[in-house]
Amino acid sequence: MAWNDKRPMSPHLQVYDLPVTAKLSILHRATGAALTAGLLILVFALAAAAGGEESWNSMHAILSSWFGYLVLFGFTFVLYYHFCNGIRHLIWDMGKGLDLESVKKSGQITLIATAVLSLFTWLIAII
């Protein structure tokens, strides 16, 4: 039996839009990986602090640049998202909030709580 190249291919992500819960699940996994990178930055900062004033001043210059603030804000956002979504999963593990409406609502709450906590943290840090 010969391969027929004229057959249609099965639609993939270009056609189908993933539900919000699937996107949030993928984001939860991605933030877990991003937290690992953020912890490496923390280790470098601690090593710089232990290395003396000159090495700390170099690290401080990097972290206090616009790019450093962007990375630190991103780390804060990732940390809070992973935390809030982890709480959401703990609630699911107790067997609560598993109906479709509750799942969508808890996803929105997770995103709003992440934004509010991140902004609140940086407002405190800047002031």
**pLDDT, tens digit (0-9, with 9 covering 90-100), for 55-106:** 999 999 999 999 999 999 999 999 999 999 999 999 999 999 999 999 999 9
Asked if residues 77 and 111 have their Cβ atoms less than 8 Å apart, the reply is no
The mean pLDDT of 104-120, rounded to a whole number, is 97
Instruction: Give the pair of three-digit tokens for residue 77.
Output: 């956002």
What does the mean pLDDT of the chain come to? 92
As a residue count, the chain comes to 127
pLDDT, position 13: 63
Using pLDDT thresholds of 50, 70 and 90, give the confidence band for residue 15.
Answer: confident
Q: Is residue 77 within 8 Å of 118, Cβ to Cβ? A: yes
Give domain 20-34+65-126's CATH architecture.
Answer: Up-down Bundle (1.20)
> Which pLDDT score, from 0 to 100, does residue 1 have?
55
